[in-house]
Amino acid sequence: MVFGQRLKKAREYAGLTQEQLAEKSGIDQRTISKIERGDQQGTTAIVDLARACNVDPGWLSSGTGDMVIPGSSPPTQGKPPTQGESMRDAVAARIANIAKRLTDKERLELLDKAIELLDRQATEAGKGGATGS
C-alpha cells in the first residue's frame, strides 16, 4: 500500500472528509486530495495528519507497524461530534496551524491574549454576564 492509500484509509478510519482532515491537520484539502490520488508522493506534515486521524505516524509514513495506536480508538468513536465540538476542533486546528508559523515570541503573545480572554470570560461569568459560549 502506498502513502496515498494509507492516508485515505486513515482518514476513513477517523470518519473524516478531506475537508475535515484539512481543518484538523492544517493541511490544504487540495494537497490531501493530490496525495490520496497519488499525484503527490508525500508531505512533511505526516505527524499532523496522523494526529488528526488518530493513527500511528510511523505506519502512515512507511506502512510498518499497526495503523491504530494501541489503546486508542477513532476520534469520532462511532458518533458524529456535536456542532460545538466541531467548532472547537476547527478553531483549535486553525490556531495550531497559525502558531506553527509564528516566532517563539509571537507564540507567547498569542498565549497571553488567550489567557486575557479566559480571565475576562471568568470575570464576566462571575458578574452574571454572558460567557461567550
pLDDT for 67-125, tens place per residue? 887 766 655 434 455 555 566 766 776 777 777 777 889 888 888 888 888 888 888 88
pTM: 0.56
Three-class SS state of 26: coil
Q: How far apart are CA 67 and CA 64, in angstroms?
A: 8
Nearest to 62 by CA among 7, 8, 21: 7
Condensed to tens digits (0 to 9), the pLDDT of residues 83-93 reads 555 667 667 76
| 4 or 75: which leads in pLDDT | 4
| Same domain flag for 52 and 4 | yes
- Domain extent, residue 32, equals 1-77
| Same domain flag for 37 and 72 | yes
CB of 47 closer than 8 Å to CB of 57: yes
| Same domain flag for 37 and 88 | no
| Same domain flag for 20 and 56 | yes
Beta bridge partners of 55: 68
Q: Does 133 reside within a domain?
A: no
Cα angle, residue 29 at apex, residues 24 and 34 outer, rounded to 5°: 130
